[in-house]
Amino acid sequence: MTPAVKTLEKAGVPFQLDSYAHDPRTPAYGEEAARALGLPADEVYKTLLARLDDGRLVVAIVPVPCQLDLKALARAAGARKASLAEPAEAERATGYVVGGISPLGQRKRLATFLDESARAREAIHVSGGRRGLEIRLAPGDLARLTGAREAPLARR
pLDDT digits (tens, 9 = 90+) for 125-138: 999 999 999 999 99
pLDDT for the residue numbered 156? 83
**pLDDT mean over 10-34:** 94
Say what the pLDDT of residue 85 is. Answer: 98
Provide the pLDDT for residue 27: 83
Query: What pLDDT, in 10s, does the model give residues 83-92?
Result: 999 999 999 9
Q: Mean pLDDT, the chain, as a whole number? A: 97
Task: Give the number of other Cβ atoms within 10 Å of residue 26's Cβ.
Answer: 14
Q: How far apart are CA 152 and CA 93, in angstroms?
A: 24
List, for residues 35-82, the tens digit of each pLDDT value: 999 999 999 999 999 999 999 999 999 999 999 999 999 999 999 999
Q: Which of 146, 126, 142 is nearest to 134 (CA)?
A: 126
Strands (E), the chain: 16-19, 45-52, 57-63, 67-68, 82-84, 111-115, 124-127, 133-137, 149-151, 154-155
User: What predicted TM-score, i.e. pTM, was given to this entire model?
Assistant: 0.96
Please say whether the beta carbons of 115 and 153 come within 8 A: yes
